[in-house]
Amino acid sequence: MGIGTPCASAIVGTLFKRGFGRVSAFSVEVGEIVLLVVITYDVSTLTGAGQKRLRKVAKICQNYGQRVQNSVFECFVDATQFASLKIELANIIDPKEDSLRFYQLGNNYKNKVSHVGAKPSLDLEGPLIF
């Protein structure tokens, strides 16, 4: 089963726990509209500060979604979470050296996403077994 429209039973509650005891933004209340947002970033790593920014950006993105390629994350978020995510990331990057791109595929993304090759995305509609 590929990526499909998230249903309440797949998203309600906490799906993942990340480091530092922080609960992921995957917890969404019933009735909220969930959007698929693809985030890409390019962070300059020529300095130690840039390498630190890169790690912070990746960690924040992992709190909201799943890495599907280097510097590419798929995030299932509601509008409030998406706004918070953008603010968190914008506060970390150096806009003179780094860039962020947000692709909003919305809540009707099922036919907009296809995958070929290794590392398929985690199916958030199906059962999660750890």
- Residue-level pLDDT at 101: 97
The CATH number of whichever domain residue 40 belongs to comes to: 3.30.70.240
Taking the model in full, what pTM does it have?
Answer: 0.68
Asked if residue 59 belongs to a domain, the reply is yes
Q: Mean pLDDT per segment of 10 residues, for the chain of length 130 residues?
A: 35 31 42 85 97 98 93 93 96 97 83 74 59
- Residue-level pLDDT at 122: 64
- Binding site for Mg(2+): which residues? 42
Comparing C-alpha atoms, which of 82, 78, 121, 79 is closest to residue 100? 82
Is the backbone of residue 65 left (phi > 0), alpha (psi -120 to 50) or beta? beta
Asked if residue 21 belongs to a domain, the reply is no
Please state, in angstroms and rounded to a whole number, the distance separating the CA atoms of residues 84 and 10: 22
Asked if residue 6 belongs to a domain, the reply is no
- Binding site: which residues? 42
